[in-house]
């Protein structure tokens, strides 16, 4: 872990956990990936399922599913990831660090402190710091955050113009609003990507979720990031987080 990486501002939001338990995601119109993408990489969930959410969050996901059915009756929600213990967060941080080292043709054992810091800066654009401090839990460890996309009428993932967990500018929710197309065909494709991302955001916001500022696929409700975003939007109605880390 890089201790020079500045803390994210949402981690200062107080937490008063409401005590809701985790419950499995088992909703009509909501699909899961089997095997789970991180389990295919060798992660060990110690017998727990990654496809769990707090009960209140699960109800809101069902509301989002109903909104999608009103707009696109033949489409469904695909859950990529939900509950993520700290150990899995640590695994994915280390995995992504190693990916960047290999991508850039570096040698892990001979990295300078500056190189390590630069790589961690890239890693933490996507991954939260795997803190074991209960005051600063990674969002997914709370059971209140999930990574999702959409399935079309054929049950195939909708092309959103980027992959979940992709370490690139395309991950920003509004990337295609400002990206410069090189042709009319590409312009139409960029507009379609943006429309699909907005559809995802609309159905989730309708149920009380808020989207991660830098990730088109990440939504949460009731955790620190959600409370911080809500407070930015409503300075006169400050909230605290009511979902902390699930042990």
In this structure, is residue 243 part of a structural domain?
no
In a domain, 217, yes or no: yes
pLDDT of res. 247: 84
Range of the domain at 70: 9-233
Question: For the chain, first and last CA: distance in Å?
Answer: 21
Residues 6+ apart with CB under 8 A from 47: none
> Phi and psi dihedrals of 186, rounded to 5?
-65, -35
Give the pLDDT of residue 4: 53
> Tell me, what's the pLDDT at 5?
63
| Domains identified in the chain, total number | 1
Domain membership of residue 34 (yes or no) is: yes
Active-site entry in 28, 94, 117, 215: 215
CA distance 18 to 111: 44
Whether the link from the prior residue into 182 is cis, omega within 30° of 0, is: no
Does residue 197 fall inside a structural domain? Answer: yes
Length of the chain: 247
Please indicate, yes or no, if residue 38 is contained in any of the structural domains: yes
Spell out a b/e string for 111-139, using b for 16 or more CB atoms within 10 Å of the CB, else e.
Answer: eeeeebeebbebbbebbbbbbeeeebbbb
**Residue 3, in any domain of the structure:** no
Does some domain include residue 117?
yes
Residues 195, 218, 4, 17, Cα dihedral to 10°: 140
pLDDT value at residue 3: 43
As a whole number of angstroms, the distance between CA 27 and CA 24 comes to 9
Instruction: Tell whether pTM > 0.85.
Output: yes
Residue 143 domain flag: yes
DSSP sequence for the chain: --TTSPPPGGGGS-B----PPEEE---TTEEE-SS-TTGGGT---TT--SSEEEHHHHHHHHHHHHHHHHH-TT-EEEEEE----HHHHHHHHHHHHHHHHHHTT--GGG--HHHHHHHHHHHHHHSPP----TTS--GGGGT-EEEEEEE-TTSPBP--SS-TT--SGGGSTTHHHH---SSHHHHHHHHHHHHHHHHHHHHHHTTT-EE-TT-TTEEESSSHHHHHHHHHH-TTS---B------
* Token output for 32: 């899961």
Dist CA 196 CA 155 (whole Å):
16
Active site residue 215: yes
Cβ atoms of 75 and 151 within 8 Å: the answer is yes
Instruction: Tell me if 153 sits within 8 A of 75, measured CB to CB.
Output: yes
Tens of each residue's pLDDT in the chain, 247 residues: 444 566 799 999 999 999 999 999 999 999 999 999 999 999 999 999 999 999 999 999 999 999 999 999 999 999 999 999 999 999 999 999 999 999 999 988 889 999 999 999 999 999 999 999 999 999 999 999 999 999 999 999 999 999 999 999 999 999 999 999 999 999 999 999 999 999 999 999 999 999 999 999 999 999 999 999 999 999 999 999 999 999 8
| Token pair belonging to 201 | 């955001």
CATH of the domain at 21: 3.30.1380.10
> What integer pLDDT is reported at residue 108 of this predicted model?
81
Dihedrals phi, psi of 195, to nearest 5 degrees: -60, -40
């Amino acid at each position: 872990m890089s201790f020079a990486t500045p803390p994210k501002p949402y981690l200062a939001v107080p937490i008063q956990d409401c005590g809701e338990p985790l419950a499995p995601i088992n909703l009509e119109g909501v699909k899961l990936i089997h095997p789970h993408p991180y389990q295919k990489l060798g992660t060990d969930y110690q017998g727990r399922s990654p496809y769990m959410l707090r009960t209140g969050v699960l109800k809101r996901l069902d509301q989002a599913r109903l909104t999608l059915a009103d707009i696109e009756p033949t489409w469904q929600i695909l859950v990529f990831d939900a509950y993520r213990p700290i150990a899995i967060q640590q695994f994915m941080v280390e995995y992504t660090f190693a990916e960047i080292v290999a991508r850039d043709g570096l040698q892990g054992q001979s990295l300078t402190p500056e190189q390590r810091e630069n790589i961690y800066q890239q890693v933490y654009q996507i991954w939260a710091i795997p803190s074991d401090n209960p005051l600063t839990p990674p969002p997914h460890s709370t059971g209140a955050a999930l990574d999702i996309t959409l399935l079309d009428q054929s049950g195939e993932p909708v092309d959103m113009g980027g992959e979940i967990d992709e370490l690139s500018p395309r991950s920003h929710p509004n990337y295609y609003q400002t990206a410069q197309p090189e042709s009319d065909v590409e312009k139409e494709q960029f507009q379609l990507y943006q429309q699909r991302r907005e559809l995802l955001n609309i159905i989730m916001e309708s149920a009380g979720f808020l989207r991660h500022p830098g990730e088109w696929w990440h939504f949460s409700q009731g955790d620190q990031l959600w409370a911080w975003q809500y407070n930015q939007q409503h300075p006169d109605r400050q909230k605290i987080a009511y979902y902390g880390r699930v042990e």
